[in-house]
Chain A
Amino acid sequence: MSIKSDLRSFLTLNGELFRFSLRFFRHGLNPPFEFSEFLKQCYVIGYKSLPLIGLTAFIMGLVLTMQLRPSMADYGVEAQLPAIVAIAVIREVGPVITALIFAGKIGSSIGAELGSMKVTEQIDAMEVSGTNPFKYLVATRVLACTLMLPVLVMLGDAVSLYGAYLGVNIHSNTSFILYWTQVFDNLVFGDVLPAFTKSFFFGFAVGIIGCYKGYNSSKGTEGVGRSANSAVVVSSVLIFVIDLLAVQVTDILGY
């Protein structure tokens, strides 16, 4: 009985999320656009996430290098450390970790913000004021998430590789130019493009789930907390699902 009801609620969530996404494509991308609100959201979602993304990316690059070094030294390929770290960061670790941090920070804040607006009737007030709240609140946030996450991933990757450079130099003395030459010599377009492309999907997933959870929030302040929480949980799981699909697609395409 419990499995049956769990399955039903899972399928219902998927169906409703699909309808919500369709509504975004049908209404959110048609004029009139809420351009100033979109710019404000780009600032809040993108620019204000930079310090957190930068810090975590730096630590990630440094730690990844330090963890890989002993194993690589055992196999005598320590010199390949910059190349291996670069490929790992650019192809997989950078986009996924950045997206997860982004889901934690932005997904929860969108879920809580829209949730509290819903339960305090602010969304209804917006509608009564001649504004389409879906366009004003949802479309702007989803678009901002979709466009800002790839930018954050690129910046995060750069910071992460700088962290890796410091990690490499803890035990050896590699010049800055040599390090970056090794990094770029071993990176090809096929490493960057799929990672960059999937980060758009990660951003869309975080935005649409945060908005869906917040927009459909109920049961007062308890519901707001639940919306914020489930926005993070669902979008984090979805990031891994998208990543799994992206790997299959890039594998088929030969990247």
Chain B
Amino acid sequence: MHSELKLDIKSNKVMIIKGLYKSFADNHVLNDFNLELVRGESVVVLGKSGSGKSVLIKCIIGLIKPDKGSIHIFGHNIPDLDHDELDQIRAKVGFLFQSNALYDSMTVRENLEFPLRRHCLEVSQKEVDKMVISALEDVGLAHTIDMMPVELSGGMRKRVALARTLILKPEIILYDEPTTGLDTITSKEIIELMVEIQQKYKTTSLIISHDMNCVRMASDRVVMLIDGKCYASGTYKEITQSVDPKVKLFFE
């Protein structure tokens, strides 16, 4: 029997990252990174390729262990948690992978059922079916329920991955480069969907991106990840008007 974690879901600050360090050999990817996430806001972490954005988001979800620093989510420090405790946090934190990470060998239905079966052991098949259809309807793809991921287009796969993320009704959603590999029109549709979902379910979003459309459309606040640090922070307008040369480079 594993201990039940008491999650402080009502707290206004849902995530507090303090003094985060992560290096790979001599490559210091995160170097004293700090961030606070307030309930219901949408924060975009902006940085160039290889700046450590994906490493940051994987540290947050517990897939990578940081060298130093703390990541408190719902009052618990992620690096200190064991596997079972992490699973309890992960049930409340959705993660949309850059590559979608849909299971190739499973249908769309099975892909969506997978996290449900793991986290909600006492749910009946009837309820599972209802939740799967509801999540697919949220992303406008209920008709793909019995299709294999390989039969879907890039944009559809992204939507199904988003439905899988949504199915557990997470409090926080982490998006790792949600528009990478998509054309401009599909990217716009995905961003609109993300905004719609955030408004509908009142989730808190942390979006990792270098797509300026995504930053402009989906952010309440933008955090610039430069040299492994939270280099600048502010609204889209404030950041675009910054006179700092390193920040200006992104908007030129």
Contacts and interface: CB of A to CB of B under 8 A. Distances in A.
A117 B100 CA distance: 12
A123 to B, nearest CB: 9
Interface stretch (A49-57, A81-89, A128-136, A227-235): A128-136
B220 interface: no
B99 A121 contact: yes
A131 B118 contact: yes
Contact of B101 (A122, A130, A131, A132): A122
A116 interface: yes
Interface in A86-145: 116-117, 120-122, 124-132
B177 to A, nearest CB: 12
Given A122-B103, A124-B63, A130 B90 contact: yes
Contact of B118 (A120, A121, A124, A130): A130
Nearest to B64: A124
A125 B101 contact: yes
Nearest to B105: A113
Interface in A143-197: none
A215 to B, nearest CB: 15
Contacts of A131: 114, 118
B90 A120 contact: no
Contact of B87 (A120, A122, A124, A130): A130
B2 to A, nearest CB: 11
14 contacts: A117-B104, A120-B101, A120-B104, A121-B98, A124-B58, A124-B101, A125-B97, A128-B61, A128-B63, A128-B90, A129-B114, A129-B118, A131-B114, A131-B118
Interface of A: 116-117, 120-122, 124-132
